[in-house]
Amino acid sequence: MLDNFFKVAADRLDDYLTGRLFVEEGQVFLGTDGEDIALDESYSIDIQVEDDKGTRYVPVTYKDVLERKTDAGWHLFAGLDARVKRVSDMTVGEMLGYTNRFKNIIASKASERVKTIRLAAMMTDLEFAYDIPMINKESFAKANPHVMRLYRTVSEARVF
């Protein structure tokens, strides 16, 4: 019981919501103690499984939860404990905008000091736009690979 408390607390620190999955009228929901949360493709979904390795989370897609069924026609993942998190990875258009901004900074004839200041401002913009945590969280990096790749590229281009 105490072990479960720590798992839930760790999930909350990583911005996960925990509860039980259910499907109703073609929509996937996470049932929590306080409310039912409608999910969509913008959520990463991990179901809790128990096997010879212990209790762990396994990622599934929204489409899997909605479409995979048992031979009897029941939704395969409905009723399972799960954790979900809204994924905030950038769109193609956002990536293009930031990439062009980065290229313009690097290609400019400004001094290295000015370029570094502009790159630092770009990093700050990325931090606010995508809620990049100040402390490196592996879960955030997995859920937002494009954001983190761009953020690291900008960071490494700075000159001190």
| pLDDT, tens digit (0-9, with 9 covering 90-100), for 1-56 | 556 666 666 666 667 889 999 999 999 999 998 899 999 888 889 999 988 888 88
- Count of CB atoms situated within 10 Å of the CB of 132: 19
pTM (2 d.p.):
0.55
Nearest to 154 by CA among 111, 123, 121: 123
Q: Which residue, 32, 52, 86, sits at the end of a domain?
A: 86
Does residue 28 or residue 136 have the better pLDDT?
28
Q: Which residue, 51, 70, 86, sits at the end of a domain?
A: 86
Please say if the pLDDT value at position 105 is more than 70: yes
Q: Which residue, 35, 69, 86, sits at the end of a domain?
A: 86
* Mean pLDDT for the chain overall: 88
Q: How many domains does the chain have?
A: 2
CA pair distance 114, 139, nearest whole angstrom: 33
